[in-house]
Structure formats: structure tokens, C-alpha cells
Amino acid sequence: MAHPAFPSTLALFATMCFAMAMNEEHAVLGGGCFWCVEAVYEGQAGITSVVSGYAAGKNPNPTYEDVCTGQSGHAEVVKITFDPARISYKKILDLFWDAHDPTTLNRQGADRGTQYRSIIIAENPAQRDIAEKAKIQAQAGFSEPIVTEILEGVEFFPAEEYHQDFSARNPNHPYVRAVIAPKLEKRKSP
């Protein structure tokens, strides 16, 4: 026989889960290799997940090999799920401007190609407005013009599983040690 409180406990749990899900928003950003961008955002307060993937290309469901050719038109991006009560979209964008060089077209460091372009994909007009204003404000910190592309409503495609949490799962990988670790260390410095 079921406990009489069980149905109401289950209903309460379901309501709480639904309420938590309703407080989630997403930010889709590209600033070079998605392994680097993912590592910058993972573990930040208010961010619940970071998924590497592809967006703004010609065909649905691209593979890493498709994107690496530079012919698919996709950018390497991350989809950040966050709680806007704990971190704002604007704060996520502030970190974005600080974590990469938005003044270099189709390049971040040694990574070159259209897949490494600086891009913000807004989910809605409000996010696009915030992104456009943040870009103008961020320009004061750069001597060269910001070339970041801002789009709205573009579909996100998750990357292959071996790209997810790459830095955390592969701390001794040469790219992680040579590129990501110094970038993260620089972010820790005052």
C-alpha cells in the first residue's frame, strides 16, 4: 500500500523541478576553440551546464570533420545554461569579452578559420539588445574594432561526446596545457 503522503510529495517535487527549469536561460557564444570557451565558463557561479557545439552554418547536424573543413559555415560555440537569479546574461557577456580577443576575424591565437570566429547567438530580441549594447560598451577596452557577429534564433547542434568537458577530462592534453591552462591562470590573476 502506498504511503498517503507520497502523491503530494511527488507533486511537490515535480512542481519544484518545473519551477527550477523555468528559471533557466541560455547563452550561445563562440570565441575560438570551444574547448577554451567551455573551460572559462565551467564552474562559474550560476552556470548549470556548458555544452560544446556548432551553430550558424549551412546544414543541420554537422560533424567536427564537417566544421573543420571551413566549408560548413558553422562556428564552434558553447551553449551555457544559467540561472538569471544568480548570474545575468550581461555578466556572461562581460566574461566573454574578457576571455577572448573579439577584434580578430576568424581567429583566436593559432586557431584560424571561420569556425573560430567571435559570435553571439541571442535566443530572443531582449538578449540581442543586451548583446548589442554590451558590444558597444566593450569596445572601449579594445584599440581595434570588435568584429563579433551577433545573430538571433540560430539553431545549436551539440558536438560529439569526446568534445564535452574536454579540458576537465584531459588535463594533460598538449592543447589544454599550452593554451587553456594559461588562459585560465591569466583569468585568476588580479
Active site residues: 33
Evaluate the CA torsion angle 168, 98, 126, 159 in order and state its sign. negative
DSSP string for residues in 92-139? HHHHHHHHS-TTSTTEETTEESGGG-EEEEESSHHHHHHHHHHHHHHG
CA angle 137, 76, 178 (to 5 degrees): 90
Cβ atoms 37, 121 nearer than 8 A: no
30 bridge partner residues? 119
| Rounded CA separation 135/104 (Å) | 14
Mark residue 61 as left, alpha or beta (left: phi above 0; alpha: psi -120 to 50; beta: remaining): left
